[in-house]
Structure 1
Amino acid sequence: MSKRKGGEIIASGLVKEGIDHVFGICGHGNIGLLDCLYEVRDKVRLVSPRHEQTAVHMADGYFRVSHRPAATLTSTGPGSANQIMGLAVAQTDSSAVLSITANVPTSQFNRGPFQELNQHNQADFNNVVRPVVKRSFQPTRVEMLPLAIRQACSTMTTGRPGPVNLDIPYNLFQESAEVADEPVGSSFGQRRSGASGEDVNTVADWLLAAERPVIFVGHGVALSEAGRELTALAHRLSVPVISSPNGMGTIDMKDPLSLGFIGRNGAYQANQAGRHADLVLAVGVRFDDRSASSWIPGYSWNFPTTRLVHVDLDHAEIGRNYRPDLGILADARAFLRQILAEMDRRSVGQGGRLAGWQAQIAGWRAEWEAYLAPNWGQHSTPISPWRIVEDCLKVLPEDAILSLDSGVHHNWYMQYWQARRPQSMLNTWGYSGMGFGPSSILGAKLAAPDRVCVSVCGDGGFTMVPHVLCTAVEYDIPVVWVVWNNFAWGAIRDLQYAYFDGREYGTGFYQGENREPYNPDFAVWARAAGVAGFTVTRSEDFAATLEEAIRLNRPALIDVHVDANIRPPGTGSWELPPLKPKEPVFGKPWRP
C-alpha cells in the first residue's frame, strides 16, 4: 500500500500497461492529470492535436498499425463530446482505444456546475459515450482507480478489440489515497480461443470435399496477425481468398489466389467467385451491406444455397446477417493453425487442387482485366481517377501505409488497390466517418516512423479536419496527404445523378451566381501551416510530384484536381431502401 495521487496512479498505470502515447487536448478539467503525465514524459509521449476527434483517429491509426493501444485525454464537457464520432469509427472497426475523459468534481455532482450533464443522472457523460465504446467506467474515489484501469485495459483488448472509456471526476487527479497496485490488465494477443476438435474435423472435411470453395477474410485476420497462416492454408488447398477492406493485405493482393474486394465496388472475379462458390469459409469478417451487395441473393453471395462456415471472436457477428451451417467462436489465427494442423494429420499435400475452379476464376479475371485495360496508362484533363490509383500503385513502396477517408475516392481504392502487407491499409469502414483518413495517418506514422505513410482523402473530408496540418508540423510527422479534389461531395452527388434524374442539390462546391466550382487553394493552405504544398492539374505531373513529396521526408500535401464525372464500374449492388438498387455495370447477378 502506498499513498498516491489519482493522477500518479493513472500515469503509472499507462506505463505498466505498455501505453506509450497519449493523444490529448488540455482543459481545466485535466490539468491535474497533465501535471502527473509530465513526470512520465520519458515513457509516455503526449501528442496534442487541435481537435478531439482527430485525437481519437490518431489513436485508432496507431493501434491498427502497431496493435498497441494508445490513450486519448480530454477535458470535461465539449472536449469529451467531440470524441464521439471517432470512438464510433474505432468501435465499428474494432480498434482498441483508451479514452480518458474528465468530468466535474464529485463534490459538485448534480449541482449543475460548469459543463455537467445532469438531466437524468449526475455527471452523466457515461450515457453519452456508452453506445460507441465497449464499456464506460466512472470511478468516483481514488481507491477505485487501479481496478478501473486494469478492467478498462482488459476490456478493450480482450476478445474483439474496441474503445473503452474511463470517465474520471477531475478532483481525483490531485486527491490522494492509500492504494495497492493491480496486475496488468491488457491481454491483447495472449488469449486466443480455438475451435473444438469436432468442428475442426468438420471444416476440414467440407474444405476437402468442396469443388468451388472460397475464403472470405476481414479485420479479425489482421487483428490476430494471421496473415501467414491464411496464406499457407490458401496455397495448401488452392482456395481463393476474398477480402473485406480491413482484411486487405492479410494475403498479398498480388498473389494469384487473392481475388480482391467483393460487393458493389468489388472486383468482378471476387463477386463471381462469391456467387458461384459451394463453400464459403468466412474468418474474422462481417457480412455488412457493402460487402454483401445489401444481402440481395445472386449479386455477391448465394446463401443459404452456398454452405457457410463463419468463424469470429464476436458471437454477435455469427449469424447476424446469414445463418451459418457451422458457426465457430474462435480467434482467427488459432483456428487457421488448427486447420493447418489437421491437414498435416491427414497428409494433405501442397497445392495442385481445384484445377477447374481455378480455371473458371482465371477466366473471370481475364474478362475483368480486358474490360479495364483501356482505362490504364491514359493522360487526360481533368485528371482521371484511374491515373491517380495507377500512379500510387507505381510510386508507393511495398510497405507503404495508406489511409483512406469516406468518399468516392475510397470506392476506387477498394476496387483497384493491391495491399501487399497486413496493417497497411486503413479504412473507415463500419461507421465511415469523414476526417478519419487525414487524421489516422498521423497515428500510423508515429507507430511506423520508418514507413511511407500517405493519406488519400476527399476535398470534403479534408476540410473537416484541416488542423491536421498543424499537428504534423508541431510534432514533425512526415506524412503525405493527397487531396482528391473534385469540387463536390462526389459520392453523394453520384447517388443524386443515379436515383434522381441528375438533380444535383447541396452536393457541389460552388461560388457566386455563375456557380463556378470552388474550393480553397489547398496547397497554399498547407504552406501557410508550414507544410510543403503542391497543386497538380496535369495527369503527367502527379507521379513525379508524389515521388517528390515522399522524398522530402517532411509533412506534404498534394492538391490533385480529379475528374468528378468518371465513376468506378459497379460489379455488385448496394441498396438504399426503398429505392430500387442499380444493376452492375459489369457482370450480371447469378443464382443457382
Structure 2
Amino acid sequence: MAKMKGGELIANYLVQEKMPYVFGICGHGNVGILDALYDVRDKIQLISPRHEQCAGHMADAYFRVKHKPVATLTSTGPGSANMVMSLATALSDSSAFMAITSNVPTSQHNRGPFQELYAHNQADFAQVLRPVVKRAFQPTRVDMLPLALRQAMDTMVTGRPGPVNLDIPYNVYQEEADVELPQASALHCAHRPGASDADVAATLNLLVAARKPVLFIGHGATLSEAGAEITEFAQLLGIPVITSPNGMGCIAGDHPLALGFIGRNGAYPANEAGRRADLVITLGTRFDDRSSSSWQDGYSWNFPKTQLVHVDIDPQELGRNYVPTVGIIADIQVFVRQLLTALAARADITAAAYAPWLGQVQGWQAEWETFVRPHFGDSTNPLRPEFVVGTLQKVLPEDVILCLDSGVHHNWFMQFWKARRPQSMLNSWGYSSMGFGVCGVLGAQLAAPDRPCVAVVGDGGFTMAPYVLCTAVEYNLPVVWIVWNNFAWGAIRDLQYGLFNGREIGTAFYKGQTGERYNPDFAAWARACGADGTTVTRPQDLAAAVEQALKNRRPCLIDVHVDADVRPPSTGTWQLPPIPYKEPVFGKPWVA
C-alpha cells in the first residue's frame, strides 16, 4: 500500500473508472481535492458551470446520452444544497451520476461550525440528500474511501440506475492513509437479469389469446438499449407501440407502428389503442399519472379488463398502480430477445391474428393526422406552436440530440415530435424540473461532441438559468438554445384559463401595471455573453435561423415568439385533485 491523500485517492479512482469529466464548482469545502484534480487534468477535465444545479443537470444529461456516469463536485452548505433539484430529477428518471459533496471537518462535528447542519445529528447533510439519491455514503476517514467509492459506483449503475452521494468531510481530502485504489467496478450496466421460461411462455400464451395487443415502452427500454429488439418484435407481429417521453426513439417516431405518447397531451391514436387494447405488454414504464390520464378508467387504459404484462428491472414498480396479469423482473433488452427466440418455435402466434386491429389503429392515425396537420403549415405572427415543432422536425438533422425543459412547449413536443434515434430526446419527466433542458444540453454536447445538441426551453425556464451562455462560451460548446417565448408561465396560465375561468394571476410577464408584455431581449443577452443571438417573429425566418446556427457551430440562442393563445389538444385527461378532470378535446373515453 502507498500513502495517499483522500483527494488523490478520489481523483485516481475517477480516472480508473474512465470518467472524462467532473462537473463542479469550487468552494472552501472542496479546495482540498482541487489540487489532486490538477495532477490528473490530462485524464479528467473539471468543467465549472456557474451554478451547482447546472452541474447536476449536465451530469444527468451526459448519462442519458452516453449511459456512462460522471461525477459532480460541490462545497459545503449552499453549494451542495443547490444539488437537490438536479439529484431529484435524475432519481425520478433513473439517471445516474456520482454527487461528491463536502462537509465540515470531523474535528468540528456537532460544534456548529460554518455551514454544518447539526440540529438532529452531526454533519447531517447526507440526510438532506437521502430522499433524492439511490444511496448516500459518508466516509469520515481516508481508509473508508476505497469501500465507499466502489460501493457507490456499483450502486449507481446496477439494476435501475440512479444518482449516489458521497458526502466527505473536507479534512479527509487532505489527510493521508495507507490505502489502495479499489478494484474497478465490473458491474457497469452488466447486470442484466432475464425472465424465467415460465414467464416468457405465459407472455406468449397471452399473445395467443389476444386480438388487440399493444406495447408500451419507457425509459427502461432506453436504458437497456433495446430499441432494435423492440422494433423487430413489433414488426414481426404488427403490434403498435406506445411510448413514454423517455422511451421515444427506441422505435423511430416516424415508423408506421409508432403511436407516440399517451395521456392528456398524448396523441389520439395512442390513447385510442391504449383504452381499447385487450393486452398491454409494458416494457420499463411506471404508469404515472400523466401517462395514464390520472388512472381514470377508459381514458388511456382499461385495467383490469385489459390483460397486463409488466416488465421492469425494478421490482418496486411492478404493480405500483395497476396489478399485472404477469409481473416480470428483467432487463428489457434481455426479455425481448427471449421473446424473439421463443417466438420462433410458436407457430400459433402470427401477425395475421392482429391484422384487423392494426387496420383499426391505422384509421385512428389517419383521423388524427387529418385533424392536426393543417396547422403545421399556418403562417402566423406570432408563430403557431405546431409550425415551430414541424419546422424543427424538418430542419434538425436525424442525429440531433433534443433537450427539452419543462413548460408548455414540452406538451407540444410530447404530442408531435418524432424522435428518430434512442437517447436523442431528453426530458425531465418524473420531476419536471425547470432548468434541466437549459443546463442539461451542455452535458449532452460533452457526451456527443460531434452531434448537434439543441435545447428547446421556455422563456420562464431560461431566465432561471441564463448563466449557461457563459459556460458554453467558456468551453466552446456549440449548443443551440431555442427559447419558446410566449411571455408567460404558459402551462400554468393555461390551467388557470381551463379550470378557473381565465382568472389569471401570477402567470403572465408584464411590465409594471401597464399591461405591456415583457421579457428581456434574449438575443442581446446571448450576444453580451459572447454567443450568437437572433430573434424570430416571422414564420418564414425560423428555418434559416436554425440552419445558420447549426452551420456556425457556435453557442447560439434563438428567441422565437410563439402564440400564447393556442393550446395543445388533449386526447386523454389529467386530474389535479380535488379539481374535476376535463373531458378530452379530441376523442372520447371508452370502457369495455
Moved more, 172-181 or 404-413: 172-181
* Number of aligned residue pairs: 592
Determine helix, strand or coil for the equivalent of 1:438. Answer: helix
Separation of aligned partners in 2, 1:513 and 1:330: 58
Aligned counterpart, 1:333: 333
Aligned counterpart, 2:128: 128
Aligned counterpart, 2:428: 428
Determine helix, strand or coil for the equivalent of 1:463. Answer: helix
CA contact (8 A) 2:207 2:349 kept: no
Aligned counterpart, 1:528: 528
Determine helix, strand or coil for the equivalent of 1:26. Answer: coil
Separation of aligned partners in 2, 1:443 and 1:374: 36
Is 1:224 paired with 2:224?
yes
Aligned ranges 1:146-545 → 2 under 5 Å: 146-185=146-185, 187-346=187-346, 351-545=351-545
Q: 1:340 to 1:348 in 2, by over 3 A?
A: farther
Unaligned runs of 5+ in 2: none
Residues 335-383 of structure 1 show CA distances to partners (whole Å, capped at 9, x for unaligned) of 1111111012335788555110011001111111111122121100111
Q: Where has structure 1 moved over 6 Å in runs of 4 or more?
A: none
Determine helix, strand or coil for the equivalent of 1:421. Answer: coil
Identity %: 64
CA contact (8 A) 1:569 1:586 kept: yes
Aligned counterpart, 1:75: 75
Q: 1:226 to 1:524 in 2, by over 3 A?
A: same
Determine helix, strand or coil for the equivalent of 2:587. Answer: coil
Aligned-partner residue type, residue 501 of structure 2: D
Aligned counterpart, 1:29: 29
Aligned-partner residue type, residue 262 of structure 1: I
Separation of aligned partners in 2, 1:205 and 1:397: 42
Separation of aligned partners in 1, 2:276 and 2:577: 26
Residues 119-170 of structure 1 show CA distances to partners (whole Å, capped at 9, x for unaligned) of 1011110111110000110000000001000000000100100000000001
CA contact (8 A) 1:17 1:186 kept: no
Determine helix, strand or coil for the equivalent of 1:514. Answer: coil
Residues 33-55 of structure 1 show CA distances to partners (whole Å, capped at 9, x for unaligned) of 11101111111111000000000
Separation of aligned partners in 1, 2:356 and 2:483: 44
Q: 1:186 to 1:427 in 2, by over 3 A?
A: farther
Separation of aligned partners in 1, 2:317 and 2:183: 31
Determine helix, strand or coil for the equivalent of 1:46. Answer: strand
Aligned-partner residue type, residue 482 of structure 1: I
Report how far residue 185 of structure 1 moved.
2.8
Moved more, 228-237 or 421-430: 228-237
Aligned-partner residue type, residue 49 of structure 1: P
Aligned-partner residue type, residue 315 of structure 1: P
Residues 164-201 of structure 1 show CA distances to partners (whole Å, capped at 9, x for unaligned) of 00000010111100113322236232110011110011
Aligned-partner residue type, residue 217 of structure 1: I
CA contact (8 A) 2:267 2:415 kept: yes
Report how far residue 17 of structure 1 moved.
1.7
Aligned counterpart, 1:587: 587
Separation of aligned partners in 1, 2:261 and 2:575: 18
Report how far residue 116 of structure 1 moved.
0.6
CA contact (8 A) 1:152 1:185 kept: no
Aligned-partner residue type, residue 97 of structure 2: V
CA contact (8 A) 2:19 2:44 kept: yes
Superposed CA RMSD: 1.0
Separation of aligned partners in 2, 1:152 and 1:235: 40
CA contact (8 A) 2:25 2:48 kept: yes
Is 1:106 paired with 2:117?
no
CA contact (8 A) 2:159 2:189 kept: no
Separation of aligned partners in 2, 1:6 and 1:351: 60
Aligned-partner residue type, residue 287 of structure 1: F
Aligned-partner residue type, residue 561 of structure 1: H
Separation of aligned partners in 1, 2:289 and 2:391: 30
Aligned-partner residue type, residue 174 of structure 1: Q
CA contact (8 A) 1:263 1:571 kept: yes
Q: 1:193 to 1:304 in 2, by over 3 A?
A: same
Q: 1:440 to 1:89 in 2, by over 3 A?
A: same
Aligned-partner residue type, residue 406 of structure 2: S
Separation of aligned partners in 2, 1:454 and 1:331: 30
CA contact (8 A) 1:262 1:572 kept: yes
CA contact (8 A) 1:238 1:353 kept: no
Separation of aligned partners in 1, 2:47 and 2:93: 23
Aligned-partner residue type, residue 264 of structure 1: R
Q: 1:348 to 1:190 in 2, by over 3 A?
A: farther
Aligned-partner residue type, residue 178 of structure 1: D
Residues 375-405 of structure 1 show CA distances to partners (whole Å, capped at 9, x for unaligned) of 1211001111111101100100111000111
Report how far residue 550 of structure 1 moved.
0.8
Separation of aligned partners in 1, 2:28 and 2:208: 63
Q: 1:238 to 1:124 in 2, by over 3 A?
A: same
Report how far residue 526 of structure 1 moved.
0.3
Residues 394-447 of structure 1 show CA distances to partners (whole Å, capped at 9, x for unaligned) of 100111000111100000000000000000000000000001001000000100
Residues 454-508 of structure 1 show CA distances to partners (whole Å, capped at 9, x for unaligned) of 0000000000000000000000110100000000000000000011110000000
Separation of aligned partners in 2, 1:204 and 1:431: 35
CA contact (8 A) 1:235 1:350 kept: no
Aligned-partner residue type, residue 47 of structure 2: V
Separation of aligned partners in 1, 2:569 and 2:19: 43
CA contact (8 A) 2:531 2:554 kept: yes
CA contact (8 A) 1:493 1:508 kept: yes
Aligned-partner residue type, residue 442 of structure 1: L
CA contact (8 A) 1:192 1:331 kept: yes
Separation of aligned partners in 1, 2:481 and 2:157: 30
Moved more, 16-25 or 581-590: 16-25
* TM-score, structure 2 normalization: 0.99
CA contact (8 A) 1:153 1:186 kept: no
Unaligned runs of 5+ in 1: none
Aligned counterpart, 1:5: 5
Aligned-partner residue type, residue 169 of structure 2: P
Separation of aligned partners in 1, 2:547 and 2:507: 32
Report how far residue 540 of structure 1 moved.
1.1
Separation of aligned partners in 2, 1:181 and 1:524: 49
Aligned counterpart, 2:90: 90
Is 1:553 paired with 2:553?
yes
Report how far residue 246 of structure 1 moved.
0.1
CA contact (8 A) 2:309 2:328 kept: yes
Separation of aligned partners in 2, 1:422 and 1:186: 25
